[in-house]
Chains A and B, each alone.
Chain A
């Protein structure tokens, strides 16, 4: 049973380019969460999705950031016109249906903006 998959593991972009981060949840998991970890800090919630629905995007910056979890395929976190401050590790987690269920994390995508 494969765990949460994220790709790419490392992504380098120049300022103004777009970054696309992909997350495939564990088999049987229908809930996906995205978190961002800045250097020397804990993880900060960004967005919570179920298939074809955004449930909570209260942690997402208002501009340039978007997320989706289509009926088929992985969840995508998209950052348009990246800036240096977007450099961070982005982690995806998945869980089964219930609120009390554990979230299992992927290995993360480390985004570096030059």
Chain B
């Protein structure tokens, strides 16, 4: 079965410090991996994705994520957090080889990031 786990419900970081939001996945084949951010009462905004190639992916707003196949992880990182980064972050996976459906994303439960000044 396909699944995504975000083990931390909340991550607290001081402004200017590095941040990491963790994500692990379980799929049968080679995954497509995504990170989205959701601000209160808003839709999801795309941050970055891994399809193939370089394991380190750079995305919007200074975020990056590293695909680690052996650990089945795709942690989101940022070298220096901003207060404005405070939001809900979702990791998602798509397994293009799963059954007959190639469409839907499977989301983790989300991690609330709180950056304090």
- Cβ < 8 Å to B, chain A residues 62-85: none
Q: How far does the Cβ of A98 sit from chain B's closest Cβ, in whole Å? A: 9
Task: Tell me if A106 and B43 are in contact (CB < 8 A).
Answer: yes
* Interface Cβ pair total, 8 Å cutoff: 65
Task: Tell me if A108 and B43 are in contact (CB < 8 A).
Answer: yes
Let me know if A56 is at the binding interface, CB within 8 A: yes
What CA separation (Å) do A114 and B46 show in the bound complex? Answer: 33
Give A32-51 as 1s and 0s: 1 = Cβ < 8 Å from B's Cβ atoms.
01010000011111001000
Q: For the side of the interface on B, what is the size category?
A: 20 to 34
Q: For the side of the interface on A, what is the size category?
A: 20 to 34
Main secondary structure on B side of the interface with A? loop
Known contacts A42-B110, A43-B44, A108-B43: A103-B105 contact under CB 8 Å: yes
What CA separation (Å) do A20 and B84 show in the bound complex? Answer: 34
Listed residue (B44, B96, B103, B106) with the most chain A CB atoms within 10 angstroms of its CB: B103
Task: Tell me if A100 and B96 are in contact (CB < 8 A).
Answer: yes
Chain B minimum-CB-distance residue to A34? B104
Task: Tell me if B105 and A45 are in contact (CB < 8 A).
Answer: yes
Q: How far does the Cβ of B18 sit from chain A's closest Cβ, in whole Å? A: 25
Let me know if B78 is at the binding interface, CB within 8 A: no
Task: Tell me if B43 and A105 are in contact (CB < 8 A).
Answer: yes
Chain B contacts for A45, CB-based, 8 A: 104-106
A sample of 17 cross-chain residue pairs with beta-carbon separation below 8 angstroms, ordered by A number, consists of A6-B43, A31-B103, A33-B103, A42-B109, A43-B105, A56-B100, A56-B104, A58-B101, A91-B44, A99-B32, A99-B94, A100-B32, A102-B34, A102-B46, A103-B105, A105-B44, A107-B43
